[in-house]
Amino acid sequence: MSEHIRQSIRLTTRHFSLILILSLLSSMTALERTGYLVLKQFSSLVSLLVIVANLIIFVIIFCRIAEAVTEQPPGPIKTLLKEHLCNFLLVGILLALPPLLVAFIASRIYPSPEEWKPFFMISSLAVSILTLYVMPYVFVHRQRLGAIKNGIRFLLTHLRLSTPLIIVTVSVTGIHNLGISQQFERLYLIGGTIFIVNLFSKYITFALFAFAALILHEHGELEQAPAEIQPATQTP
């Protein structure tokens, strides 16, 4: 376990410059959205560019970590984006749907955001825990629905092994939710605090991905033939 921690930190730190850029972009978006940074007529364009840049950087880092874990040679960035960007986006949307549905139902019952937001946060945390092992399947086997199914299956059959990942996920989510709460929002948005929190949460996100991929690789999960792209067997 300690060796996996060292390896995940080493694999994540390799991409620290990209994580810095990602954190800066996320912080700038949050400041603009809350009125602390005014971009006037360029607001929509900047927001779109930030979203695209976020997706590209996430895919690049996830791909590089997956390549290192599975001992594959680094592929061209253009090829990586072509092969993985669509899968990453679709799986991300699928994972976001349950919390959004919970928030929608809760908002119909409780009119005040302070009353229905906890339902959204709790459901988001539950999805984050259940899908700890999903993304390695996405980036190694190019799976979509299969990645969700296999990731949840592995978690439920290896709960004790996954305890450190669950504890870290709960802690990071708690820090993030505390930062965006109304009581701490001003402190979160000033004095560089938002950048530090974003940097910490992004770094931990990639370290968790590396840790999960190392565990899956150790259990032979990443060497299996991808379920969604297996060739059909021919009958004589």
Q: Which two tokens stand for residue 160?
A: 């004790």
Sign of the alpha-carbon dihedral angle for 185, 186, 190, 192: negative
- Residue 115: the pLDDT is 84
Describe the crossing of helices 193-218 and 163-180 by its angle, rounded to 10 degrees: 160
Decide if 191 is inside a domain. Answer: yes
Segment (H or E) for 60 = helix 43-69
Report whether pLDDT(190) > 80: no
Segment (H or E) for 127 = helix 113-130
* Domain coverage including residue 191: 2-218
Decide if 226 is inside a domain. Answer: no
What mean pLDDT is predicted for residues 73-88? 93
Asked if 155 contacts 219 with a C-beta cutoff of 8 angstroms, the reply is no
Report whether pLDDT(231) > 50: no
- Residue 138: the pLDDT is 95
DSSP structural state of residue 233:
P
DSSP-based three-state secondary structure for 35? coil
Percentage of residues in the chain having pLDDT higher than 70: 80
Decide if 212 is inside a domain. Answer: yes
Decide if 229 is inside a domain. Answer: no
What mean pLDDT is predicted for residues 188-216? 84
- Residue 92: the pLDDT is 93
- Residue 179: the pLDDT is 54
Asked if 200 contacts 19 with a C-beta cutoff of 8 angstroms, the reply is no
Q: How many domains does the chain have?
A: 1
- Residue 117: the pLDDT is 83
Decide if 21 is inside a domain. Answer: yes
What mean pLDDT is predicted for residues 206-218? 94
The secondary structure of 75-115 as a DSSP string is PPHHHHHHHHHHHHHHHHHHHHHHHHHHHHHHHHH--SHHH
Span 89-127, pLDDT tens digits = 999 999 999 999 999 999 999 888 778 888 888 998 899
- Residue 13: the pLDDT is 96
Nearest Cα neighbor of 33 from 20, 42, 43 is 43
Report whether pLDDT(234) > 50: no
pTM of the model: 0.84
- Residue 40: the pLDDT is 52
Q: How confident is the model at residue 134 (pLDDT cuts 50, 70, 90)?
A: very high
Q: How confident is the model at residue 236 (pLDDT cuts 50, 70, 90)?
A: very low
Describe the crossing of helices 2-13 and 16-33 by its angle, rounded to 10 degrees: 70
What mean pLDDT is predicted for residues 171-199? 65
Decide if 233 is inside a domain. Answer: no
Decide if 234 is inside a domain. Answer: no
The mean pLDDT of the chain is 83
Report whether pLDDT(227) > 50: no
Q: How confident is the model at residue 212 (pLDDT cuts 50, 70, 90)?
A: very high
- Residue 178: the pLDDT is 60
Nearest Cα neighbor of 197 from 176, 166, 181 is 176
Decide if 137 is inside a domain. Answer: yes
Distance CA 71, CA 77 (A): 17
What mean pLDDT is predicted for residues 28-48? 62
